[in-house]
A and B are shown apart, each in its own frame.
Chain A
Amino acid sequence: MDEALIRSLTPSVLAILVRRGADFAAAEDAVQDALVEAVRGWPSDPPRDPKGWLVTVAWRRFLDATRADAARRRREDLLDEEPAPGSAPSVDDTLQLYFLCAHPSLTPSSAVALTLRAVGGLTTRQIAQAYLVPEATMAQRISRAKRTVSGVRFDQPGDVATVLRVLYLVFNEGYSGDVDLAAEAIRLTRQLAAAIDHPEVAGLLALMLLHHARRAARTAPDGSLVPLAEQDRGLWDTESIAEGVEILQAALARDRLGEFQAQAAIAALHADAPTAEETDWVQIVEWYDELARLTESPIVRLNRAVAVGEADGPRAGLAELAALDASLPRHTAVAAYLHERDGDLTTAARLYAEAARKAPNIAERDHLTRQAARLNSRG
């Protein structure tokens, strides 16, 4: 039984059922039933058309399930409308599923869970493990999400931006449990990019590939953080970088800039530099200007201050920083870094220690604590 095949077929089978008018939750149950039957029957009797087989069996299951209850009349309507059996091209159906799973009525965490379940074909247990919550909790989160979208009409064009945000959330969860969510996000974004012609989808895919390419270099074997400047560039995945750059260039050529393309451009400039010293900081600052124009995000302005510090020197960076709200996440860490580069090691050490206390995750806290310790223990 080919798990990858099943995982790739599940979403489109589900999408076809929902398109035919099945309620989302009922369709999911029916598809699960069909999968169980496939696991039992396929090894001895493999179907010629696996997807057609799954659609037929799942649809039959769905009808069986609705037959007994008050939905009889609706079932009869559906029977009348039942299309001819056989498989249908699935790309558009799956696309609809993306939009449904990222529906604005869902909270971000519900949208993420539902997307992984319905579009990604992951099991509830896998999703629960990845998010470090009990399976029962995740099952409830998913079934609430299904209930929320069960009344949503399936023919509405969705908002691409929402779908992209959900995929980006999945990507940023990174790796835990037996599912690599970053790889999963790339797989789903790839699938989306194949189904929809939109420069920002390409931008997000490029961004993910470029970040993912550096993953092996980002942490030391003991799990501690390795800053970009100190990373062993030999560990970067050059194939992934080349693909990301190519996708990005094609997207940029269409002249419909969006924030993911701009972020990917910055990542590409980092990936392009043979050494940290050769990074084209001037161009990076220009891309941050674009990004600031597109998002007006204070985090972007903070990152821009770092880039300015590299392009024009730490004093210029500190001047940029002074204009920003000091309560921004990582503001103190950036200040510490710029003061160190400016030669004020005492202030830098104090700020590193303060930044460590405010750090949002363990790897960052430990990294900042080590920076403070390094400066405090200088001879």
Chain B
Amino acid sequence: MAKYLLLKHYRGAPASVNDVPMDQWSPEEVSAHVQYMRDFADRLEGTGEFVDGQALAPEGAWVRYDGEGRPPVTDGPFAETKDLIAGWMVIDVDSYERAVELAGELSAAPGAGGKPIHEWLEVRPFLAATPTITE
């Protein structure tokens, strides 16, 4: 088994096929979308492949050290220019192929008009812990 991170972007990924901003969907479409994600997670728990998942607020800031005795610098009002992560899910699956298959399913969450949004998801393998035998 290996763990993979499925990353959902607000921005930074290529545009989805069904690219209508969520605030312009009908409330039922929003509910259907949310329910799809929830069902997906429940189903993976049932197959023993779910590890964790969270949604993130869009207001992220870049922060860095700015020297001794000074407060950290944040990136100010330029948030619209950067990649933003909307949320993530961690899965624990038997193969990379299975990870891609599941990411494909998650990308089919319904959007405007009840049609799949076809959004791009990023799939990143976790670096494993050290196995017992490495030498």
- Range, interface on chain B: 20 to 34
Please report the C-alpha to C-alpha distance between residue A359 and residue B46 in the assembled complex, in whole angstroms: 31
The 8 A CB mask of B88-99 against A (1 = contact, 0 = none) is 000010100000
Given A108-B94, A131-B92, A137-B92: A172 in contact with B131 (beta carbons within 8 A): yes
In the complex, how many angstroms separate the beta carbon of A125 from the nearest chain B beta carbon? 15
In the complex, how many angstroms separate the beta carbon of A16 from the nearest chain B beta carbon? 28
Contact A211 B127 (CB under 8 A): no
In the complex, how many angstroms separate the beta carbon of A273 from the nearest chain B beta carbon? 13
In the complex, how many angstroms separate the beta carbon of B49 from the nearest chain A beta carbon? 7
The 8 A CB mask of B39-65 against A (1 = contact, 0 = none) is 000001111111110000000000000
Given A109-B1, A172-B133: A140 in contact with B46 (beta carbons within 8 A): yes
- A:138-156 near B, CB below 8 Å: 138, 140-142, 144
Contact A144 B47 (CB under 8 A): yes
Please report the C-alpha to C-alpha distance between residue A319 and residue B52 in the assembled complex, in whole angstroms: 46
Q: CB of B128 within 8 A of chain A?
A: yes
Q: CB of A331 within 8 A of chain B?
A: no
Please report the C-alpha to C-alpha distance between residue A141 and residue B132 in the assembled complex, in whole angstroms: 24
The 8 A CB mask of A235-275 against B (1 = contact, 0 = none) is 00000000000000000000000000000000000100000
- Please give, as numbers and ranges, the residues of chain A lying within 8 Å of B1 by CB-CB distance: 108-109, 131
In the complex, how many angstroms separate the beta carbon of B87 from the nearest chain A beta carbon? 17
In the complex, how many angstroms separate the beta carbon of A61 from the nearest chain B beta carbon? 26
Given A136-B45, A144-B48: A365 in contact with B134 (beta carbons within 8 A): no
In the complex, how many angstroms separate the beta carbon of B12 from the nearest chain A beta carbon? 22
Q: CB of A24 within 8 A of chain B?
A: no
Contact B51 A364 (CB under 8 A): no
Q: CB of A195 within 8 A of chain B?
A: no
Q: CB of B17 within 8 A of chain A?
A: no
Q: CB of A121 within 8 A of chain B?
A: no
Contact B135 A364 (CB under 8 A): no
- A:210-233 near B, CB below 8 Å: 211-212, 214-215, 218-219, 225, 227-228
In the complex, how many angstroms separate the beta carbon of A242 from the nearest chain B beta carbon? 20
Beta-carbon nearest neighbor of B131 in chain A: A172
The 8 A CB mask of A105-120 against B (1 = contact, 0 = none) is 0011110010000000
- Please give, as numbers and ranges, the residues of chain A lying within 8 Å of B44 by CB-CB distance: 137
Among the interface residues B1, B128, B132, which one has the most CB atoms of the partner chain A within 10 A? B132
Please report the C-alpha to C-alpha distance between residue A361 and residue B129 in the assembled complex, in whole angstroms: 6
Q: Mark B residues whose CB is within 8 Å of A.
A: 1, 3, 44-52, 92, 94, 127-135
The 7 closest A-B pairs by CB, nearest first: A141-B48, A174-B132, A363-B130, A109-B1, A228-B135, A361-B128, A140-B48
